[in-house]
Amino acid sequence: MSDNMNDMDQIQLFNDQGRLLNAGLPDEEKALFCDAAPQVDAPYRGIWEKFLNWARSESLWILGFGTGCGAIELRPLMTSRYDMYQYGVQPRPTPRQAGLFIIGGYASVKTMKRIVRSYEQMQGPKFVLGLGSCTVNGGMYWDSYNTINRLDHYIPVDVYIAGCMPRPEALLAGINELKKLIKEGKGENANKYAENFEWYKRNQKKIIKDWNMPDYNW
């Protein structure tokens, strides 16, 4: 563990003014991207926040990005048999419109780069559902050189659904569990990401060696 810590300390994220370095970008592109780290967006209080949470939980829009084999489970979920629209869930084509990111199974380092980028582009409050064993502990790819073991070291995860593969019923159960969490006011992982930004970013940079994108892309 101490080796890891040394590795991580070497990764410098901020300059003297507390702005992001964006060291991976070429100089001419640095001005195009923001260099501010994410900030905590404190929830409202009382009945207004409860109302908002109800609205959020009843309109979960999925980012249509199938990151692994688990994405195949989203197709039956959409069609008439399981019909996720009855739960207020529907797929969206871009991260800007989506509030729920379903990580479908194994995430290779190459995909992880795109996952991080898409996750950061989603607007808060945003939620992540880890689908399948691979997101929990690496699953059958636990000793692979190229797939991550624990998704929650790179982006915050709200609900895990274990199984290889979980069936669409399990996915619906996970979505309902997520709704319950949001209604209880526990869907604050976008803020958790902002609070622990440095830790997440160091973990991400430790595995994504060719970091050629902004440090935080919103």
Partner 1 sequence: MTEFNELSRQFQISDLKEQRADLHFFHASKEHAVAVLTSLKEKYGYTHLVFFTVVDHLEKNEFHLTYMLHNYEKHHDMGVVVKIARENVQMESIHHLWPAAATYQQEIREMYGVEFPGSPGLYENFALEGWEDIPPMRRDFDTKEYSDKTYYPRPGRESHDPREYMKENLYPGEAETW
Say how far apart CA 91 and CA 97 lie, in whole Å.
9
| Element (DSSP H or E) covering residue 149 | none
- The residue among 188 and 215 lying less far from partner 1, judged by its C-beta, is 215
- Residue from 75, 96, 110, 180 touching partner 1 (CB under 8 A): that is 110
Residue 105 corresponds to which tokens in the numbers above?
């199974």
Site residues for partner 1, 129-148, by CB under 8 A, read 136-138, 142-148
The number of helices, as runs of H, and strands, as runs of E, in the chain is 9, 5
Q: How far is the CB of 100 from partner 1 (least distance, A)?
A: 24
Contact 157, 114 (CB under 8 A): no
142: its two tokens: 């636990």
162 near partner 1, judged by CB under 8 A: no
**Nearer residue to partner 1 within complex by CB, 15 or 137:** 137
Closest to 177 in 3D by CA, of 85, 60, 23, 8: 60
Applying CB under 8 A, the site for partner 1 has a residue count of 24
Q: How far is the CB of 122 from partner 1 (least distance, A)?
A: 23
Of 43-51, 57-65, 189-197, 207-215, which segment contacts partner 1 by CB under 8 A?
Answer: 207-215
Q: Report the C-alpha gap between 170 and 192 in whole angstroms.
A: 26
Is there binding between residue 114 and partner 1 (CB under 8 A)? no
Answer yes or no whether residue 201 interacts with partner 1 by CB under 8 A: no
Residue identified by tokens 């997440």 is: 200
Q: Which residues bind partner 1 (CB under 8 A)?
A: 3-4, 109-110, 113, 136-138, 142-150, 153, 203, 206-210
